[in-house]
Amino acid sequence: MEWIIILLIVAVIWYALSSSKRKNEVDIPIKVSIETSHKGGGYDPDRVIDTGKITKVADDVFCINPKSPLPLTLKGLSNSDAAHIKKLLDGEAQWQRNLNDITFEIAQHNIECLELEEFVSQLHSEVIEYVEKRKKESNEWDESSEKDKADLIREFQSAAIENLASKPSNERALETLLFGNPGDVTLDDQLLELFSGNKDIYRFYVSGLGRSSKANQVPADDYYRKNWETLVELGLAKRGKDIPIEALLDGLRMKDINEYFSDRLEKKLTRKAMAVEYAAAQTDVLDVLSKHMSFREMFQISEPKDINVSEIKACYEYAAAQAELMRDTYVTGYRTLDTLDDARDAEYDGWEIESDDCCQQCSKLNGKKTKRKPSKLPPFHVGCTCSLDGVYD
């Protein structure tokens, strides 16, 4: 009997102690954080590589990335403009889409990149030399008409670009810079002022220049409807009944014109020009069209007075080509600095150059591995898209 009482007392004491222990326990939350060792390639939106502080070279000349293996020097802008372009280029290196903004800045301020100008000038001399050589070697040249000679020159120019040892990876942009120079890049300045810095509307407008003969049907839910309405407000587009009747009719199909005026046609119209002329001559043409179309939906680009449209387009295309090659050069240098920064912690065993998408000269380096950091780093020239990679054995 006594031993049963002893067991009960032990059980009571054990229960009391275990209960007290549970009451004093505290649930401690465990925080788990996972960090990645990869910092390069612009994948981290919060990471910005230091390409160097903007350096003033002259009153309107600034070097925007002095730490890059190939620094870029811009002329024709203010310190704040240089900082803005640098920010846009940093964004491009982080996979943002800022190229259109950069193009607009170049067009608006007539910015020049000194390294780009020098490189293109050098390549232009090589191309001219090649073309002259081909002209002398050609069996066709002396006997060709002026138009045939123009065709031959374009053929020789394309071959010249193809045979350049060192050139930007973007051949289309290079071709624009070599042969599409508008001469006077200020020709679009007056037009740019009308847009008050609205680069999206300006780009939309320029893309429509040269295609202004027809009216465009733009429903209320169309993505570009607001753009059209803005152009109307700026006096750079017509809307509805302000559009010449011929332009409204030219946008219709032959089938439509025959159908709309079927009640008075003796026989079907078979030629578009004749159909437009016939319909435009009808005194009630607007009444007829109003039964089949909403005039509010109709828009037409207006070409600026006393401004050569082809020259405007050439100015913008030239600025776009400048922006593309500046972007490629800046981003390549940015990512080289990114790789070098990673190397501090990564402890690479060596280095490798990837250059299969660049030019003949750079392709010789593709896959080249070295134990020590190469003395010359990408970009190797303006418009170069080669990369420096750290490797492990």
What are the tens digits of pLDDT across the range 39-81?
Answer: 334 446 567 899 999 999 999 999 999 999 999 999 999 999 9
* Strand spans (E) along 205-364: 216-217, 237-239, 298-301, 350-354
Instruction: Give the tens place of pLDDT for each residue, 329-382.
Output: 999 999 999 999 999 888 899 999 999 889 999 999 999 999 999 999 999 999
Instruction: Reply yes or no on whether the pLDDT at 28 is more than 50.
Output: no
CB 298 within 8 A of CB 280: no
Instruction: Give the tens place of pLDDT for each residue, 307-322.
Output: 777 888 889 899 999 9
Q: What is the pLDDT of residue 294?
A: 95
pLDDT (mean) for 270-296: 94
Q: What is the pLDDT of residue 23?
A: 41
Q: What Cα–Cα distance (Å) separates residue 354 from each residue in 67, 106, 226?
A: 21, 30, 45
For 254, the token pair is 């032959």
CB 366 within 8 A of CB 353: yes
pLDDT (mean) for 125-131: 97
Instruction: Reply yes or no on whether the pLDDT at 35 is more than 70.
Output: no
Q: Which helix (H) or strand (E) holds 389?
A: strand 387-391
The burial class, CB within 10 Å (0-12 / 13-18 / 19+), for 315 is buried
Q: How far apart, in whole angstroms, are the C-alpha atoms of residue 289 and residue 261?
A: 10
CB 338 within 8 A of CB 40: yes
Instruction: Give the tens place of pLDDT for each residue, 145-154.
Output: 999 999 999 9
Band of residue 8 on the pLDDT scale cut at 50, 70, 90: low
pLDDT (mean) for 199-221: 85
Q: What Cα–Cα distance (Å) separates residue 110 from each residue in 66, 81, 341, 381?
A: 22, 12, 34, 23
**Residue where the block lists tokens 């293109």:** 120
For 380, the token pair is 């190797």
**Residue where the block lists tokens 């437009």:** 276
Domain ranges of the chain: 215-302, 326-391
Q: Peptide bond preceding 379: is omega within 30 degrees of 0, i.e. cis? A: yes
Higher pLDDT, 126 or 357: 126
Instruction: Give the tens place of pLDDT for each residue, 286-302.
Output: 999 999 999 999 999 99
Q: Among 226, 183, 216, which residue's Cα sits nearest to residue 312? A: 183
In percent, how much of the chain has pLDDT > 70?
A: 88
CB 238 within 8 A of CB 274: no
For 54, the token pair is 């903007």
Instruction: Reply yes or no on whether the pLDDT at 196 is more than 90.
Output: no
Q: 239: which strand partners?
A: 299
Tell me phi and psi for residue 131, to 5 degrees: -65, -45
* Helix, strand, coil percent values for the chain (each to nearest 5): 50, 10, 40
Instruction: Give the tens place of pLDDT for each residue, 100-114.
Output: 899 999 998 999 999
Q: Among 202, 216, 227, which residue's Cα sits nearest to residue 299? A: 216
Instruction: Reply yes or no on whether the pLDDT at 12 is more than 60.
Output: no
Band of residue 327 on the pLDDT scale cut at 50, 70, 90: very high
Q: What is the pLDDT of residue 34?
A: 24
Most distant CA pair in the chain: distance in Å?
134
Band of residue 25 on the pLDDT scale cut at 50, 70, 90: very low
Higher pLDDT, 177 or 18: 177
